[in-house]
Amino acid sequence: MAHDETNDVESDLLEPLGSSDRATQRAACERASALLRQKPEFRETLHGWLLQSNPRLRFAAAYVLFRTGRATLRLLPALLDSLELDDGDLRWTAAHMLATLGRMQAEVCPVLLHECRNAASPRRRRMAVYALRELAPERAETQQAFLGALGDSDSMVRRASLSSLAKLTAPGRSCLERVLEIARSDPDARMQSIAAVVLPDLVSQHPATRDEVAAELQRLANTDDLSLVRSARAALQRLAQRPV
């Protein structure tokens, strides 16, 4: 392929890679991946596109680079920005890529911890929680970040953090006590429902609290909120199925 022809192909990819139409963007990613396999020097063009103003283009460039070679920290800024995209599927893909990148690059986990606590965007804080949940569920810092995020100003961040406590490798007693507190008195009924779902998983780590948790779930199962009642009853069934 002649040099000018290569440049034309690369230029033709710019708009579809940044498209808001998912099918168009996906097809462009496949074309870009094929071009990169044919022309390894196209990698540097993609690295340049990681700095473009269009966040969808930055995501697509990171996605193609991620799929076609060893992921490096050069992808990190674009992937973090992708946690704020309007498209939920792309956000989740970015979160998964961050978790995978974090398994190869130790610098990623501290960055995600910082984003979880300090990012200006609530959506970015929430997606950082999910990325951390996948990357480092065994780390004490992750547990502390999730507990801290239970006090976030955004309800979606609080809910994400609460549900993620059940995914920790070894949640401490402080996690169970905080979830019980939420189940008893949180003004957000959705938080109470999530707490009911999470409690049986935490009891597995702290079996001495089984009776206390069962009593709270029974109380929730007799409230006037039908959604909360359903969550509590399902949690009671799961708790009953767990070995004593």
> Rounded to whole angstroms, how far apart are CA atoms 235 and 233?
5
Same domain, 207 and 120: no
- What CATH number does the domain containing 144 carry? 1.25.10.10
Same domain, 165 and 184: no
- pLDDT confidence band for 4 (50 / 70 / 90): very low
Same domain, 39 and 7: yes
- Say if residue 141's pLDDT is above 60: yes
Q: Dihedral, CA atoms, 83, 84, 89, 92, nearest 10 degrees?
A: 20
Query: Which structural domain range is residue 7 located in?
Result: 1-65
Q: Which token pair is 167?
A: 């995914």
Which DSSP state fits 75?
G
Of 170, 201, 235, which one is at a domain's C-terminal end? 170
Same domain, 123 and 109: yes
Same domain, 5 and 91: no
> Rounded to whole angstroms, how far apart are CA atoms 205 and 214?
15
Which DSSP state fits 154?
S
Condensed to tens digits (0 to 9), the pLDDT of residues 53-104 reads 999 999 999 999 999 988 899 999 999 999 999 999 999 999 999 999 999 9
Tokens 């992708």: give the residue: 82
Number of domains in the chain: 3
pTM over 0.75: yes
Q: What is the pLDDT of residue 10?
A: 79
Taking a C-beta distance cutoff of 8 angstroms, is the pair 131, 109 a contact? no
Same domain, 135 and 188: no
Of 170, 190, 225, which one is at a domain's C-terminal end? 170
Tell me the C-alpha to C-alpha distance, in Å, between residue 162 and each of 91, 130, 148. Answer: 20, 11, 10
